[in-house]
Amino acid sequence: MTVRQVLVHKGGGVHAIHPEATVLDALRKLAEHDIGALLVMEGDRLLGIFTERDYARKLVLLGRFSKDTKVREVMTMGVPTVAPEAFLEEAMRLMTERRTRHLPVVEGERVVGVVSIGDLVKAIITHQGMLIAELSRYVSENR
């Protein structure tokens, strides 16, 4: 399975925020969409990612305030990306190596989606279930 197949199934919508927005705005957007990360973008350009982990580790633990802090001050930069043609195993390896839970999907220079570790695990479990069903059907028909 490829990352593109996961995006087709889940939808390729991208939730993003501008780097000059406040962390409070970002938290509201996370809650509104029930997600754990926002891409930080300036126009079509990917600058980084803001996650719940960034909030907990870079804001709360440092005693800063959500309404006074800009996303650019606490976002994670140098975010790994993956191409839509990448296989799920490659995406999971990258996420494991880089210790990230969200991976922007980039085609050329354009962000076309985001996959989470949960999306990948769900896709693999679904795919394995289909394979098991096919194998079971094959075994029962060829007895």
Per-residue pLDDT of the chain (143 residues; tens, 9 = 90+): 899 999 998 876 899 999 999 999 999 999 999 999 999 999 999 999 999 999 988 887 778 888 889 999 999 999 999 999 999 999 999 999 999 999 999 998 899 999 999 999 999 888 888 888 888 888 888 87
pTM for this structure?
0.85
CA distance 129 to 118: 16
Q: How many domains does the chain have?
A: 1
Q: What is the CATH number of the domain that holds 33?
A: 3.10.580.10
Q: Give residue 52's domain range.
A: 3-141
CA distance 68 to 90: 39
